[in-house]
Amino acid sequence: MAWEPVAAVAAAYMVMVGFVMIAFAIVYRQVGADGTFRQGSYEVNTTWNVLSLVFGLLAAVLGGWTCLAIDNSEWSIRSLIIVIVVLGLLDIAATIKKLQAGTPPRNDDVDNRTAMRNARKPTWVAAANLLVGVAGVSIARQWLG
């Protein structure tokens, strides 16, 4: 059917975003701003950067499985990879722009929304997340394809 590839990619991306948002919200609630950022700034610490890559891989595998469960075609999985690459490139550009704008000072008590808006991750993390996303979908394709 003509709608299945579009539905598969849309559903897969929603699963990926939902998983990452929920996982990070839970972890942030547990560790707080001091466990997420460097002292007095919104620069994300190494632990959070590594966690980002782990969550990204898990989300991409889940997204790949979702895509294949809805439409088990090469076109759907390739389309999901294209979406991940395009959005990943946009994330890299946004990361560079945020880093050039500088990091605002951070108070001790920061809510989740403010933390998300002001967080500054290194450019290598944005690039690695793109690669991890493609790898995760590829892993799902190998396991289920």
pLDDT digits 0-9 by tens, 9-54: 999 999 999 999 999 999 999 998 889 988 888 999 999 999 999 9
Q: Within 10 A of 96 (CB to CB), how many other CB atoms are there? A: 12
Residue labelled with tokens 């190998």: 142
Q: List the one residue out of 78, 43, 58 whose CA is nearest residue 129.
A: 58
Q: Is the pLDDT of residue 94 over 80?
A: yes
Q: Within 10 A of 30 (CB to CB), how many other CB atoms are there? A: 8
- Judged by DSSP in three states, 139 sits in helix
pLDDT tier for residue 104 given thresholds of 50, 70 and 90: confident
Give me the pLDDT at residue 116, please: 83
* Average confidence score pLDDT of the chain: 92
Give the whole-angstrom CA distance, residue 25 versus residue 44: 15
Q: List the one residue out of 133, 141, 145, 140 whose CA is nearest residue 57.
A: 133
Give me the pLDDT at residue 145, please: 63
Triad 90, 60, 65: Cα angle to 5°: 135
